[in-house]
């Protein structure tokens, strides 16, 4: 059995959540859905494998680019947990979309998680505000 993290994390928040979920797994392999030079159709799992599939929720939906890349992977009944990571807004249909695409790709979804991560915009504004105090 191999263990995988399949992640789309443009700002790093989703990756942090996924690493926290899998921190007690040893020998975890990563599949980065944000890679532009990766042939996702060449990635294949087995029924004995287990994976965490994670992506952010933007405006209550999963990023279409990440879903399209997930759809090209051959799940082959690999058991997986899907994780929707969101900031200050509800995740709405993100988990449903992720499940639909994961099942179509051949994954066997056994769990779903919604997790909150800090917003990058909030951090940028916080830093700017602190800088303005010294100007």
H or E segment to which residue 7 belongs: strand 3-7
Q: In Å, how far from its chain's centre is CA 54? A: 2
- pLDDT under 50 in the chain at which residues? 124-125, 127, 129-131, 133-135
**Other beta carbons within 10 Å of 50:** 18
- pLDDT, tens digit (0-9, with 9 covering 90-100), for 86-111: 987 789 999 999 999 999 999 999 99
Q: Which CATH class is domain 3-133?
A: alpha beta
13 vs 15: CA distance, rounded Å? 5
Domain boundaries, the chain: 3-133
pLDDT of residue 117: 86
Please give the pLDDT value at position 14.
96
Task: Return phi, psi of residue 13, to 5°.
Answer: -65, -45
pTM: 0.87
- Residue-level pLDDT at 119: 59
What distance in Å separates the CA atoms of residue 44 and residue 67, rounded to the nearest whole number?
A: 16
């Amino acid at each position: 059995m191999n263990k995988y993290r399949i992640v789309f994390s443009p700002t790093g928040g989703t990756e942090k959540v996924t690493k926290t979920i899998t921190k007690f797994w040893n020998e975890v392999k990563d599949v980065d859905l944000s890679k532009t030079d990766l042939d996702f159709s060449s990635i294949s799992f087995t029924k004995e494998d287990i994976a965490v599939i994670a992506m952010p929720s933007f405006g209550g939906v999963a990023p279409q680019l990440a879903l399209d890349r997930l759809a090209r992977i051959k799940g082959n009944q690999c058991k997986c947990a899907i994780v929707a990571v969101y900031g200050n807004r509800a995740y709405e249909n993100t988990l449903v979309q992720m499940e639909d695409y994961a099942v179509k790709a051949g994954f066997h979804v056994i769990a779903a998680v919604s997790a909150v991560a800090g917003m990058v915009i909030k951090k940028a504004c916080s830093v700017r505000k602190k800088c303005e105090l010294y100007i």
